[in-house]
């Protein structure tokens, strides 16, 4: 909820209102706009974000615009509060996490009001902000707290029971820059090892360099993406894909699954994992389950990750026979179970 409020506030009043770009070559965009090489152009978010063609009732403050089902209907370039492309904000996820935590802590402790009916006046420095905006703050009383449910934590149903791996080879490959995909890969490997698989975990590039044949293995790839491109530990794989190195390869003996790690706030959401998935599928390898996605923007939490992975673990094609019934019902979200 807080994230949706922040998104909508940033849509109507992007704190860094323009960013500047210039084309490398003369170009015509939208069939009529002539842009000259190296001539800077300002992209003015306050105009873009209120464009009625992109945003119905564009002046309305409506936090439901950033519900996932509605985001899917937006034009991919209609929201640019954090800039665009390779020079987009690298602090985006940090800023959103920090703002959410700060808001939650403030609202938990204090009740906030605007006794003077403030009318917005913009103060402009490097960023824009409200000028002379004062709020009234007092300690929040117990009766002012919203009661949701019983307050008891509800356990995520992610266990799918014990599994016997019978010494089968199992490779977990990761493509990561900052380490999220690697962490997930290592946790998956750990679990598979406990389940009795002979596990190796390494980066996608290391695996490519080793030239390991995939025929007799279960391969799980956990890959992130940056601006739709490969993360640091998969750049050589991306180069090989660009060069068509896997075209015509026959990996029909391999069984594989891809878990993409991305953030749907970026226009090229999950682009690299999708590309990897399609390339491996084209080799004739057996697809164990549909590509799973972890979306950092909608709670890419451990629970979400394990929910994604539980689908893989619930896939009977991947594992040998379960040794005892599940403690909780398995999550049967994948198409092959």
In the complex, which residues of this chain contact ligand FMN (CB under 6 A)? 90, 93, 176-181, 224-228, 231, 261-263, 266, 268-271, 296
Q: Within 87-126, which residues bind ligand HEM (CB under 6 A)?
A: 87-91, 94-95
Closest CB to ligand HEM: residue number: 91
Spatial contact of 316 and 283, defined as CB atoms under 8 Å apart? no
Q: How far apart, in whole angstroms, are the C-alpha atoms of residue 219 and residue 199?
A: 10
Q: What, of ligand HEM, ligand FMN, none, does residue 176 touch, CB below 5 to 8 Å by kind?
A: ligand FMN
Please list the residues that pair with 226 across neighbouring strands: 229
Q: Which residue shows structure tokens 């790839």?
A: 221
Q: What, of ligand FMN, ligand HEM, none, does residue 262 touch, CB below 5 to 8 Å by kind?
A: ligand FMN
* Spatial CA neighbour of 224 closest among 242, 238, 209: 238
Please list the residues that pair with 19 across neighbouring strands: 43
Q: How far apart, in whole angstroms, are the C-alpha atoms of residue 291 and residue 299?
A: 19
Q: How far apart, in whole angstroms, are the C-alpha atoms of residue 48 and residue 82?
A: 13
Q: What, of ligand FMN, ligand HEM, none, does residue 286 touch, CB below 5 to 8 Å by kind?
A: none
Beta carbon of residue 265, minimum distance to ligand HEM (angstroms, whole number): 12
When the beta carbons of 106 and 178 are compared against ligand FMN, the nearer one is 178
16 is a contact residue toward ligand HEM (CB under 6 A): yes
Beta carbon of residue 100, minimum distance to ligand HEM (angstroms, whole number): 11
Q: Within 28-87, which residues bind ligand HEM (CB under 6 A)?
A: 81-83, 87
Q: Which distant-in-sequence residues (6+ apart) come within 8 Å of 124 by Cβ?
A: none
Spatial contact of 44 and 20, defined as CB atoms under 8 Å apart? no
Site residues (CB under 6 A) for ligand HEM? Answer: 10, 15-16, 19-20, 81-83, 87-91, 94-95
């Amino acid at each position: 909820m807080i994230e949706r409020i922040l998104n909508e506030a940033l849509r109507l009043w992007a704190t860094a209102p323009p960013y500047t770009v210039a084309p490398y070559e003369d170009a015509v965009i939208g069939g009529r706009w002539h842009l000259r090489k190296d001539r800077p152009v300002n992209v003015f978010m306050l105009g873009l974000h209120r464009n009625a063609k992109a945003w119905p009732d564009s002046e309305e403050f409506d936090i439901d615009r950033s519900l996932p089902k509605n985001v899917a209907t937006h034009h991919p370039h209609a929201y640019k509060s954090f800039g665009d492309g390779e020079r987009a904000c690298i602090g985006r996820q940090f800023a959103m996490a920090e703002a959410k935590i700060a808001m939650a802590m403030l609202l938990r402790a204090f009740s906030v009001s605007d006794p003077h009916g403030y009318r917005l006046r913009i103060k402009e420095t490097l960023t824009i902000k409200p000028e002379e905006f004062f709020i009234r703050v007092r300690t929040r009383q117990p009766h002012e707290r919203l009661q949701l449910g019983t307050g008891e934590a509800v356990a995520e149903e992610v266990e799918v029971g014990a599994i016997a791996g019978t010494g089968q080879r199992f490779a977990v490959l990761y493509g990561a820059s900052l380490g999220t995909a690697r962490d997930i890969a290592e946790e998956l490997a750990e679990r598979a090892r406990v389940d009795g698989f002979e596990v190796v975990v390494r980066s996608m590039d290391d695996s490519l360099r080793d030239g390991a044949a995939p025929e007799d293995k279960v391969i799980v790839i956990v890959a992130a993406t940056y601006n739709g491109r490969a993360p640091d530990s998969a750049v050589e794989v991306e180069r090989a894909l660009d060069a068509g190195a896997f075209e015509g390869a026959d990996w029909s003996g391999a069984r594989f699954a891809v878990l993409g790690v991305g953030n749907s706030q970026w226009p090229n959401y999950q682009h690299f994992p999708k590309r990897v998935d399609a390339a491996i599928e084209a080799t004739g390898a057996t697809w164990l389950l549909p590509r799973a996605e972890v979306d950092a923007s909608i709670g890419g939490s451990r629970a979400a990750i394990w929910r994604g992975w539980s689908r893989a673990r619930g896939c009977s094609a991947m594992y040998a026979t379960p040794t005892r019934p599940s403690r909780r019902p398995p999550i049967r979200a994948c198409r092959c179970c």
